[in-house]
Amino acid sequence: MNEAVTIPETQRAGDVASATPFATLGLNEVLVRAIEETGYEMPSPIQSAAIPPLLDGRDVVGQAQTGTGKTAAFALPALQRITVERQQPQILVLTPTRELAIQVAEAMQTYARYFEGFHVLPVYGGQGMDSQLRQLRRGVHAVVGTPGRIQDHIRRGTLNLKTITTVVLDEADEMLRMGFVDEVEAILSHTPAEKQVALFSATMPSAIRKIAQRHLRDPVEIAIKSKSATVSTVRQRYCQVTSRHKLDALTRILEVENFEAMLIFVRTKTLTVELAEKLEARGFSSAPLNGDMAQVLRERTVGRLKSGRIDILVATDVAARGLDVNRISHVVNYDIPYDTEAYIHRIGRTARAGRSGEAIIFVAPRERRMLRSIEKATGKTIDAMPLPSQEDIVDRRVSQFKALITSTIESQDLDSFESVIASYQQIHDADLSEIAAALAFLVQRERPLSPKLPKIPDQKFDDERSSGQKQSNRDRPARGERKSSHDRPGAVKKPEAGMERYRLAVGRDHEVLPKHIVGAIANEAGLDSENIGYIKLYDAFSTVDLPEGMPKDIFQLLRKVRVRGQQLRIELDHRTDAKVDQESTGKTKKPKKPKKPKKPKRTGEKKREKRKESA
């Protein structure tokens, strides 16, 4: 690799003066239109650096992680280079998981929305072969898939890669970790010698560099250099939440956090408007701030925040550039920033004029690596923030309600209302506290003191960072190299909190390695390999720890998956702890006595009883 492009500090998403708009990167009009409609304002750093050389037909090695905008960085130029009239596969993207395959395929479909007749096919295990075969026969332009299933198709002769002109290896280090290197190599050998190859990887271990050396020709190397910065007066917290639950998580935070003004960062112009509208609908007065708004309107919106007429702004990086409002006590990174520079700029919008500030960042499980980079760059640990619970919200609403009573008593002339209550009391011979309770009930109907909140599932797999004790999966040796515990007799341990143990019908007798198990499960269950826990191999079977609460359909699917020709026949490991220990140590342990379940308290009933007694 002889050419390296390190993104200059000044060329960042959000830097109006020096960022390159999509059109000037060389992208054609239909793609630019689609991107703008998607709501992207500015190319992200990796896009600015990778799109021009890829459009020129160069090979590219990009060091980029999820969240940097890498998908568009490779998908846009690849799309521009295909011939839609040719109904043959021209783009091949290999991804480590089916989840990513679907995501990339969806992004491609969005960017190619003005390519008439364009077809992209996501191909992954666990999905019926029939529909894949039908679509392949009909003709597709791009195939995005996991190595295992792509190889299946090659073997069956249902996918011919001879017409491929661009190959993308996405999250190459993750494919390596999952033991897919041989498959990747084999697949590449079926593609024509004359082709463009782009390789993206969050890290560049030597095995990935070797692949790049073998399969890429004179590649342009791109990495985003981030400089460290200190942000001493901002308390930083992160909240692990999947994108589906972000709005509910934000709503809870808005309810319980003591904030004066809040700036919420999102990726797109469209989302600034959507989110502001959704917050309004939930009773939080807020406004969008994006680059599409005329300067006058933007200034007016910022003015409203300054004067306290609104407390929440939902902004893009571009629009919030240089924003200086002392009232901003909180910055919420609703969408994770592209890079650490953008993050540092974002949180610099709080803690102005000698005040302190709060920064909260929403992190999806796949984005945890970016969190680490941010910690490194800011030199500070970002603490885990538990989501406010139902009880927290009730407590908060009740104390606000009480404060409202106090301030009403203090500030309002209530004489005429008092006489209404007095006459009611006389006629009905009612208890004052009962009357007050009825009025309280009426007042809270619009905004119940005890609301029914939408459920947000616990992201149980993320406690290794916050406890600071357990070794991060990322830092462990690659799966293929990881020692299975048969090397350490007696080392059987219980599943970590939030995980449960499953038993698989494959073991050492079937020449199975941990990496095979990881690959199969990650692919079929759409699970990030990080979330696959401890694996132990026995002769005839093995065990694996997976996050609690596996959906039924995935469980059924996994039962049938084959590893080394054997069906996994996964089942919950019902052996008692004693038995597990016995298997490894030969000793027996007394089983624990099961605890007696507590009788639930029925407060309503109790109260009624009490009333009856006093009547």
CA gap 26, 53 in Å, rounded: 10
Which of 67, 145, 480, 519 contacts ligand AMP by CB under 6 A?
67
Q: Which of 49, 50, 51, 72 binds ligand AMP (CB under 6 A)?
A: 72
User: Which one of residues 14, 69, 388, 526 is an interface residue with ligand AMP (CB under 6 A)?
Assistant: 69
* Near ligand AMP by CB under 6 A: residue from 48, 68, 90, 329: 68
Pick 42 or 544: Cβ nearer ligand AMP: 42
Binding mask 225-264 for ligand AMP (x = CB under 6 A): ----------------------------------------
Q: How far apart are the first and last CA of the chain?
A: 89
Report residue 449 as tokens: 């003191």
CA torsion angle 596 601 605 607 (round to 10): 140
Give me the least distance between CB of 15 and ligand AMP, in Å please.
13
Q: What whole-number distance in Å separates Cα of residue 333 and Cα of residue 266?
A: 7
Question: Considering beta carbons, is residue 68 or 301 the nearer one to ligand AMP?
Answer: 68
263 or 546, CB closer to ligand AMP? 263
Measured distance CA(129)–CA(149) in Å, rounded: 10
Radius of gyration of the chain (CA): 29
CA 13/CA 45 separation, integer angstroms: 6
Q: Measured from the CB of residue 104, what is the shortest distance to ligand AMP in angstroms?
A: 8
Kindly state the smallest distance separating residue 22's Cβ from ligand AMP, in Å.
8
Q: How far is the CB of 172 from ligand AMP (least distance, A)?
A: 15
Q: Give the span between the Cα atoms of 263 and 330, in whole angstroms.
A: 6
Q: Specify the stretch interacting with ligand AMP by CB under 6 A; choose among 43-51, 119-127, 295-303, 421-429.
A: 43-51
List binders of ligand AMP among 351-380 (CB under 6 A).
none
CA distance linking residue 21 with residue 41, whole number of Å: 8
Residue 580 CA to residue 491 CA, distance in Å, equals: 10
DSSP string, 147-203: HHHHHHHHHHT----TT--EEEETTHHHHHHTT-HHHHHHHHHTS-SS-EEEEEESS
CB 459 within 8 A of CB 241: yes
Query: Does residue 40 interact with ligand AMP by CB under 6 A?
Result: yes
User: Which residue intervals of 459-509 are DSSP H helices?
Assistant: 464-467
| Subset of 548-587 contacting ligand AMP (CB under 6 A) | none
Which of 342/377 has CB closer to ligand AMP? 342
Helix runs in 429-502, H state only: 432-444, 464-467
Which 12-31 positions form the footprint of ligand AMP (CB under 6 A)? Answer: none
Site for ligand AMP in 459-478 (CB under 6 A): none
Stretch that binds ligand AMP, among 61-69, 142-150, 451-459, 494-502 (CB under 6 A): 61-69
Of 133-172, binders to ligand AMP (CB under 6 A) are none
Least separation in angstroms between CB 470 and ligand AMP? 27
Asked whether the beta carbons of 524 and 125 are under 8 A apart, the reply is: yes
Query: With binding defined as CB under 6 A, does residue 268 bind ligand AMP?
Result: yes
Q: Which is nearer to ligand AMP, 362 or 541 (CB)?
A: 362
Distance CA 430, CA 433 (A): 9
- Interface region with ligand AMP, contact rule CB under 6 A, candidates 64-72, 128-136, 204-212, 384-392: 64-72
Interacting stretch for ligand AMP, rule CB under 6 A, among 66-74, 87-95, 493-501, 568-576?
A: 66-74
Task: Please report how close the Cβ of residue 290 comes to ligand AMP at its closest, in angstroms.
Answer: 11
Q: Select 70 or 245, whichever has its Cβ closest to ligand AMP.
A: 70
Q: Which is nearer to ligand AMP, 528 or 573 (CB)?
A: 528
Question: How many other C-beta atoms are found inside a 10 Å radius of the C-beta of residue 179?
Answer: 23
Q: Which is nearer to ligand AMP, 127 or 268 (CB)?
A: 268
The secondary structure of the chain in percent helix, strand, coil, rounded to multiples of 5, reads 45, 15, 40
Tokens 């038995």 map to which residue?
579
Closest approach of ligand AMP to the CB of residue 561, in Å: 27
Question: What gap in Å lies between CA 559 and CA 322, rounded to an integer?
Answer: 55
Count of Cβ atoms closer than 10 Å to residue 7 Cβ: 19
- The single residue among 63, 71, 97, 272 that binds ligand AMP, judged by CB under 6 A, is 71
Q: What are the start-end ranges of the H helices in 282-337?
A: 295-307
The span of 48-56, 69-77, 306-314, 451-459 binding ligand AMP (CB under 6 A) equals: 69-77
Which amino acid type is present at position 226? S
Pair 89, 160: CB distance under 8 Å: yes
| Region from 50-58, 68-76, 439-447, 483-491 binding ligand AMP, contact rule CB under 6 A | 68-76
Q: Which is nearer to ligand AMP, 246 or 298 (CB)?
A: 246
Cα–Cα distance for residue pair 19/66, rounded to 1 Å? 21
Question: Of the listed pieces 65-73, 133-141, 510-518, 560-568, which binds ligand AMP according to CB under 6 A?
Answer: 65-73
CA distance 458 to 267: 25
The CB-of-182 to ligand AMP minimum distance in angstroms stands at 26
Phi, psi of 123 (to 5 degrees): -130, 115
Strand-strand pairing, 499-504 and 571-572: antiparallel
Binds ligand AMP (CB under 6 A): choice among 66, 90, 340, 350: 66
Nearest to ligand AMP of 246, 267 (CB atom): 267
Q: How many helices (H) and strands (E) does the chain have?
A: 22, 21
Judged by CB under 6 A, the stretch of 41-49, 77-85, 163-171, 194-202 that binds ligand AMP is 41-49
Between 88 and 268, CB nearer to ligand AMP:
268
Which region among 60-68, 231-239, 340-348, 515-523 touches ligand AMP (by CB under 6 A)? 60-68
Region of residue 161 (phi > 0: left; psi between -120 and 50: alpha; otherwise: beta): alpha
Number of residues that bind ligand AMP (CB under 6 A): 14
Do 41 and 335 form a contact (C-beta atoms < 8 A)? no
Question: Interacting stretch for ligand AMP, rule CB under 6 A, among 37-45, 431-439, 548-556, 599-607?
Answer: 37-45
Q: Which residue is listed with tokens 């589906």?
A: 244
Closest CA to 175 of 104, 94, 96, 100: 96
Of positions 119, 252, 267, 330, contacts ligand AMP by CB under 6 A: 267
Question: Between residues 531 and 543, which has the closer beta carbon with respect to ligand AMP?
Answer: 531
Instruction: List residues binding ligand AMP (CB under 6 A).
Output: 40, 42-44, 47, 66-72, 267-268
